[in-house]
């Protein structure tokens, strides 16, 4: 699939890291200064789904999914190698890595440890669309990988939760296993809300407006106005999430640090492993970026829903799950910059080598043609 040349970043994109930290500070400040706000926001929910967070996430995901070229997805079916690598990264390497880090750094804090493991089992279906877009990844491949992760989560999440939290934990330390009651329907419902709704909206928007206005207008005018609003949805979501736990973050700073260590380690290690693996397998930069951010991100909305539904909103497991995205956001936005640097450093060299090889081959090819004539 052809690489799309990135456009000049807007003011919002260029200073996104600053806006994110400001949004985090605003959220923590609101939660600490007005404790009632967390009660109000938490009351605005349907079952275990927080409506304010859902609104922010749905709008955050809608623009990237409306930008996907669904009419070209038939080309993606041929990329079996890329999908195979993604499945290995997401469903073998990722869960075992997070499990190992949780036990390494939180052996004495079982509630936080379980919360971290639950986060590691939930593969990303939301924010990765934003990270991929900012890093210049392949939107079509990203949409398919997100869909694949969603299918695997519906089929395997409850099984994985039993294996890692109940069985494998009891093998590591006798009596450490905890039964996690989470049904396939609960997971399917969460996946539908946070992926199905914006996915359907994106498809309907794209085909309806292209049919009425044309593809050039849609991609040149409409998407230029719609795309930046995804980041506004991201900032709104961050403010809401931080305000929900702002009081606890300030009251338990050492606990936050303890939880952050395995999480940040996971994001960095997983991104590094995936990026190097993809680069070594000679994937293009857009493919490498998509694989790396898909592997390094997590579906925190599912993890939070599971932790709250099974252990309760005030549990240590829920606290650890909520802390997850609070560190994932600044780390992953930093990795966007790392990815763009790696693109200039490594993939530019790769293109120069290929160009030299093509020049070296062409005289021979011309000679063969002349001989044949």
Q: What is the pLDDT, as a whole number, of residue 370?
A: 41
Q: Average pLDDT, stretch 197-217?
A: 88
Res. 3 pLDDT band, cuts 50 70 90: very low
The pLDDT value recorded for residue 351 is 57
Q: What is the mean pLDDT of the chain?
A: 79
What is the residue extent of each domain of the chain?
Answer: 11-372
Q: Is pLDDT above 70 for 363?
A: no
CA nearest to 150, candidates 63, 262, 80, 61: 61
| CA angle at 199 for the pair 195 and 204, rounded to the nearest 5° | 155
- Cβ-in-10-Å burial (0-12, 13-18, 19+) of 348 comes to exposed
Distance, in Å, from the CA atom of 58 to the CA atom of 270, rounded to the nearest integer, reads 26
Residue 37 has pLDDT above 50, yes or no: yes
Q: Which residue has the higher pLDDT, 355 or 85?
A: 85
Q: Residue 73's pLDDT is what?
A: 63
pLDDT tens readout for residues 272-308:
999 999 988 889 999 999 999 999 988 776 777 677 6
Q: What is the pLDDT of residues 111-142, one digit of tens each?
A: 899 999 988 988 876 678 778 888 889 887 88
Mapping DSSP onto H, E and C, the string for the chain reads CCCCCCCCCCHHHHCHHHHHHHHHHHHHHHHHHCHHHHHHHHHCEECCEEHHHHHHHHHHHHHHHHHCCHHHHHHHHHCHHHHHHHHHHHHHHHHHHHHHHHHHHCCCCHHHHHHHHHHHHCECCCCHHHHHHHHCCCHHHHHHHHHHHHHHHHHHHHHHHHHHHHHHHHHHCCCCCCCCCCCHHHHHHHHHHHHHHHHHHHHHHHHHHHHHHCHHHHHHHHHHHHCHHHHHHHHHHHHHHHHHHHHHHHHCHHHHHHHHHHHHHHHHHHHHHHHHHHHHCCCCHHHHHHHHHHHHCECHHHHHHHHHHHHCCCCHHHHHHHHHHHHHHHHHHHHHHHHHHHHHHHHHHHHHHHHHHHHHHHHHHHHHHHHHC
At residue 235, does pLDDT exceed 60?
yes
The confidence score (pLDDT) of residue 2 equals: 44
**304 vs 312: CA distance, rounded Å:** 10
**Residue 39 is encoded by which pair of tokens?**
């009660």
Q: What is the pLDDT of residue 53?
A: 77
Quote the pLDDT of residue 259: 92
11-372 maps to CATH 1.20.1530.20: yes
Q: What is the CA radius of gyration of the chain?
A: 22
Rounded to the nearest 5°, which phi and psi values hold at 315? -80, 160
pLDDT computed for residue 122 by the predictor: 84
Asked if residue 243 has pLDDT above 70, the reply is yes
Rounded CA separation 160/289 (Å): 26
Q: Can you say how many angstroms the Cα of residue 243 is from the centroid of all Cα atoms in its chain?
A: 21
Residue percentage of the chain with pLDDT more than 90 = 18
Range name among 6-15, 57-66, 99-108, 227-236 with the lowest pLDDT average: 6-15
| Residue 373 pLDDT > 60 | no
Q: Which of 45-54, 119-128, 202-211, 322-331 has the highest mean pLDDT?
A: 202-211
Task: List, for residues 252-275, the tens digit of each pLDDT value.
Answer: 788 889 999 999 999 999 999 999
Mean pLDDT over 74-81 rounds to 69
Of the pLDDT bands very low, low, confident and very high (cuts 50, 70, 90), residue 239 is: confident
Average pLDDT over residues 147-172: 81
Other beta carbons less than 10 A from residue 229's beta carbon:
14
pLDDT at 360: 53
């Amino acid at each position: 699939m052809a690489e799309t040349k990135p456009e000049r970043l807007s003011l919002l994109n260029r200073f996104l890291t600053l806006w994110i930290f400001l949004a985090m500070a605003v959220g923590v400040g609101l939660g600490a200064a007005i404790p009632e706000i967390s009660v109000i926001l938490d009351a605005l929910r349907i079952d275990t789904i927080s409506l304010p967070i859902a609104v922010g996430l749905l709008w955050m995901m809608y623009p990237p999914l409306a930008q996907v070229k669904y009419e070209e997805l038939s080309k993606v079916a041929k990329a079996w190698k890329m999908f195979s690598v993604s499945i290995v990264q997401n469903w073998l390497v990722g869960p075992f890595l997070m499990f190992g880090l949780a036990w390494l750094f939180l052996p004495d804090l079982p509630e936080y440890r379980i919360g971290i493991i639950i986060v590691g089992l939930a593969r990303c279906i939301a924010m990765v669309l934003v990270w991929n877009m900012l890093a210049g990844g392949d939107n079509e491949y990203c949409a398919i990988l997100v869909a694949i992760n969603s299918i695997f989560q519906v089929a395997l999440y409850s099984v994985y939760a039993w294996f890692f939290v109940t069985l494998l934990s009891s093998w590591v330390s006798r009596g450490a296993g905890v039964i996690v009651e989470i049904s396939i329907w609960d997971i399917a419902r969460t996946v539908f809300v946070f992926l199905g709704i914006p996915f359907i909206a994106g498809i309907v928007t794209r085909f309806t407006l292209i049919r009425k206005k044309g593809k050039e207008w849609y991609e040149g005018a409409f998407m230029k106005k719609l795309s930046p609003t995804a980041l506004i949805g991201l900032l709104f979501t961050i403010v809401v999430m931080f305000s929900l736990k702002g009081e606890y973050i300030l009251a338990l700073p050492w606990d936050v640090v303890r939880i952050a260590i395995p999480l940040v380690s996971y994001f960095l290690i997983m991104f590094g492993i995936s990026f190097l693996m993809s680069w070594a397998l000679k994937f293009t930069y857009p493919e490498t970026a998509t694989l790396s951010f898909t592997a390094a991100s997590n579906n925190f909305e599912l993890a939070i829903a599971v932790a709250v539904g099974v252990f309760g909103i005030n549990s240590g497991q829920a606290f650890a799950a909520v802390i997850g995205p609070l560190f994932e956001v600044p780390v992953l936005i930093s990795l966007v910059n790392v990815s763009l640097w790696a693109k200039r450093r490594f993939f530019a060299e790769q293109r120069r080598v290929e160009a030299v090889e093509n020049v070296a081959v062409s005289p021979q090819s011309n000679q063969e043609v002349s001989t044949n004539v």
